[in-house]
Amino acid sequence: MTQRLDGRVAVITGAGSGIGLATARRFAAEGAKVVCVDLDAETGAKAANEVDGLFIQADVTDEAAVRDLFQRVVDEYGRLDIAFNNAGISPPDDDSILTTGLEAWKRVQEVNLTSVYLCCKYAIPHMQRQGKGSIINTASFVAVMGAATSQISYSASKGGVLAMSRELGVQFAREGIRVNALCPGPVNTPLLQELFAKDPERAARRLVHIPLGRFAEPEEIAAAVAFLASDDSSFMTANTFLVDGGISGA
Ligand code: NAI
């Protein structure tokens, strides 16, 4: 494997599972020092152990915890090169506009969108001091198209991530900080499996619309994240980076 991230310090939120875990493995394989952040102490610590990295247990909706975690990374490693702001949840239940409750709506915005605001807010000052950094925020294909998923709070939160990433990419470009939004299509992770468990026919309904005819594996998304994190994407910022099996192009 190429060592595009040799010596880089990378923070990954939601590193204990799915896309975050695959990316922790990929970043480590490419030479990065990986800081795994997760709410789940068991899976987060396991991931960090596997990639010989640091585990920080944190709830990414908690402002003090997010501030402290980025400070700790810089105290420990002296720098911060990459922030992959990826932790997220799917809505607890039926997420149609007609039925979703206000509390459920707020929780999804908090975990999926406010967390990205907080992580960018506390990562960027460290990157400004270095005059360089790469931020990748996980949005979704539902941020760019109507996907008939009836997931209103989820789609709205991801639209917010996309708009915020674009705005930050433009604002900080001349300070050497690149900010891109990653928009995966459906990926075979616990998050997706949970949705299919609630509605078993959903998988077949969704597959019809994916030109490549299958769901992504987390490793395929991790490869795209590594590209965005590395200098191979040095002329890309404020970008909507779709890795979706063609779903948004069909
Ligand atoms: P996952 O459920 O496998 O992993 C999410 C991780 O985030 C878990 O380890 C969980 O403990 C952690 N997490 C949740 N809330 C947290 C909090 N408050 N603080 C810290 N950590 C927290 O999910 P997956 O599929 O890997 O999703 C990762 C991201 O990709 C999410 O933002 C999701 O919305 C997005 N996404 C996923 C797609 C899919 O089909 N799986 C498609 C498009 C986007």
User: DSSP letter string over 17-32?
Assistant: SHHHHHHHHHHHHTT-
**179 phi, psi to nearest 5 deg:** -130, 120
Q: Whose CA is closest to atom 31 on ligand 1?
A: 88
Interval between CA 38 and ligand 1 midpoint (Å): 10
Region for 64 from its dihedrals, namely left if φ exceeds 0, alpha if ψ lies in -120 to 50, beta otherwise = alpha
- pLDDT given at position 92: 77
CB 142 within 8 A of CB 104: no
Angle between helices 152-172 and 115-130 (to 10 degrees): 20
Say yes or no: CB of residue 19 within 6 Å of ligand 1.
Answer: yes
**81 phi, psi to nearest 5 deg:** -100, -35
Say yes or no: CB of residue 183 within 6 Å of ligand 1.
Answer: no
User: How many other CB atoms are found less than 10 A from the CB of residue 78?
Assistant: 9
Say yes or no: CB of residue 18 within 6 Å of ligand 1.
Answer: yes
CB 87 within 8 A of CB 39: yes
Interval between CA 90 and ligand 1 midpoint (Å): 8
- pLDDT given at position 231: 98
Say yes or no: CB of residue 47 within 6 Å of ligand 1.
Answer: no
Interval between CA 89 and ligand 1 midpoint (Å): 5
Pocket mutation for ligand 1, best pick of 189, 215, 228 (most atoms within 8 Å of C-beta) = 189
Rounded to a whole number, what is the largest CA-CA distance in the chain? 50
Pocket mutation for ligand 1, best pick of 17, 95, 217, 225 (most atoms within 8 Å of C-beta) = 17
Residue 33's DSSP bridge partners are: 9
- pLDDT given at position 78: 98
Say yes or no: CB of residue 82 within 6 Å of ligand 1.
Answer: no
Say yes or no: CB of residue 155 within 6 Å of ligand 1.
Answer: no
Token code pair at residue 185: 């299509």
Say yes or no: CB of residue 61 within 6 Å of ligand 1.
Answer: yes
Residue 80 to residues 129, 148, 219, Cα–Cα distance (Å): 10, 39, 23
In order along its 250 residues, the chain shows pLDDT tens digits of 889 999 999 999 999 999 999 999 999 999 999 999 999 999 999 999 999 999 999 999 999 999 999 999 999 999 999 999 999 999 877 889 999 999 999 999 999 999 999 999 999 999 999 999 999 999 999 999 998 777 899 999 999 999 999 999 999 999 999 999 999 999 999 988 988 888 888 888 889 999 999 999 999 999 999 999 999 999 999 999 999 999 999 9
Interval between CA 156 and ligand 1 midpoint (Å): 16
Catalytic residues: 154
